[in-house]
Structure formats: structure tokens, C-alpha cells
């Protein structure tokens, strides 16, 4: 972290709508708060599995609430996230593993594209309901994020390499080490210790703790 700046890590998966909200808000606040924001693409499926957590929408009443909550949050933060009743089926039927490996490969090779690429994945998945597990869709997302065909082809090939698989596993393990049980997991390194915040509705608390 820069001189006197607080390192804030955002552990996220593009399959998580609340992660998108936290991502956009933190992107806005990194220019207002004295923070170094670090994006940490991780695998939500691995975190759920390791902690025995269940998707909140599996509880019907909670699912009903989530629809309203995410719609309100998206409007409040002006993020083009569209929730419909069919969104959860769409969500449950998709694995984000290849997408998160692809994002990890880009992070390792061309980190300057990490932010626009992640945003574009959320746009595709949560605004247009596209299947982000298909290679051709992943390449289309990369193209939209300004990544050349050559670079994205290389990153796609890297998704099956041990290097990328291990990096994603390690980042996911790091989130678990901080106490994550879902996403987004925001970790602020302040006063010599890590502070974990879960979800996109604890950002004012994060600000308060880091003196912002």
C-alpha cells in the first residue's frame, strides 16, 4: 500500500450480484478515500463448499426478499443490475469456474484489464443473462472489455493450466483464511490487522473503521 494508504482487498466472483454492487461502490470511493483497492478474483463455489454455506435464495422467503433488495440496491447505486424471478434458476444453473479462471489468467498476464473485464462479465450475466461459462461468450466479454483476440485466446488456453488453477485456489483459500463464508468479502488492512466485511451493505462501517 502507498504511504499511509489503507489496503482494501475485494474478494469477488462475477456470479455474485452483491459483489458487483460492492465493486462499483469501492471503485468510486477509491478516489475519495485514502485507500489502495486491490481486486482479488476468487471462486464463490469453493467458499460455499468449504464453509458449508448455502445460496440464500434456497430459502424461498429469503429469495423473495433478495429480488427486492438487489433491485433497490441497484437503483440506489445506479448499477444496471436486473433481477427477475428467473434469475435464481439462471444463477443455480451456471458455474463461474471457467470465467473466474479466465479473469485470473488476465490478472496474471494483463492486470490493467482486470477491472473492465470483471465489470463486463457482470454486465453480461446480470444485465443480459448470458451463459458466461461458454468459451465463445467468454471471448465476447473479453472483446467488449477491450482485450485483443490474441490475448484472450491465450488467457482461455491458460484456464486449464495448473498455474491459473492454483492461483484461483490460493486466492480463494486466502479469503477463507480471513473468515469469508460468501461474497463479496472485503478485507481492510488497518492498524496492523485485517478487518473482514461481508456483503455490499457494510461499506459505511468499513469507512468508519478506517477513519474515513
Enzyme catalytic residues: 16
pTM: 0.94
Query: Containing H/E element for 188?
Result: strand 185-190
d(CA 62, CA 55): 10
Domains and CATH numbers, the chain: 6-206 (3.40.30.10)
Distance of CA 209 to the CA centre of its chain: 22
pLDDT tens for 126-171 read 888 788 999 999 999 999 999 999 999 999 999 999 999 999 999 9
Distance of CA 127 to the CA centre of its chain: 15
pLDDT tens for 18-42 read 999 999 999 999 999 999 999 999 9
pLDDT tens for 39-62 read 999 999 999 999 999 887 788 898
64 pLDDT band, cuts 50/70/90, is: confident
d(CA 68, CA 63): 9
Question: Is the pLDDT at 1 greater than 50, yes or no?
Answer: no
8-state DSSP, 137: H
4 pLDDT band, cuts 50/70/90, is: confident
Question: Is the pLDDT at 212 greater than 90, yes or no?
Answer: yes
d(CA 188, CA 94): 30
Amino acid at each position: 500500500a502507498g504511504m499511509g494508504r489503507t489496503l482494501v482487498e475485494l474478494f469477488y466472483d462475477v456470479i455474485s450480484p452483491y459483489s458487483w454492487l460492492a465493486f462499483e461502490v469501492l471503485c468510486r470511493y477509491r478516489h475519495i478515500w485514502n485507500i489502495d483497492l486491490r481486486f482479488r478474483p476468487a471462486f464463490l463455489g469453493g467458499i460455499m463448499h468449504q464453509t458449508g454455506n448455502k445460496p440464500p435464495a434456497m430459502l424461498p422467503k429469503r429469495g423473495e426478499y433478495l429480488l427486492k433488495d438487489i433491485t433497490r440496491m441497484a437503483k440506489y447505486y445506479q448499477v444496471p443490475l436486473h433481477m427477475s424471478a428467473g434469475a435464481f434458476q439462471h444463477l443455480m444453473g451456471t458455474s463461474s469456474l471457467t470465467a473466474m479462471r479466465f479473469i485470473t489468467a488476465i490478472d496474471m498476464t494483463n492486470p490493467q484489464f482486470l477491472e473492465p473485464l470483471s465489470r463486463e462479465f457482470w454486465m453480461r450475466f446480470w444485465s443480459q443473462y448470458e451463459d458466461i461459462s461458454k468459451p465463445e461468450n467468454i471471448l465476447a466479454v473479453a472483446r467488449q472489455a477491450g482485450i485483443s483476440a490474441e490475448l484472450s485466446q491465450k488467457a482461455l488456453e491458460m484456464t486449464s493450466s495448473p498455474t491459473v488453477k492454483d492461483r484461483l485456489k490460493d486466492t480463494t483459500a486466502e479469503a477463507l483464511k480471513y473468515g469469508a463464508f460468501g461474497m463479496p468479502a472485503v478485507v481492510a488492512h488497518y492498524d496492523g490487522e485485517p478487518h473482514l466485511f461481508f456483503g455490499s451493505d457494510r461499506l459505511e462501517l468499513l469507512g468508519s473503521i478506517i477513519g474515513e
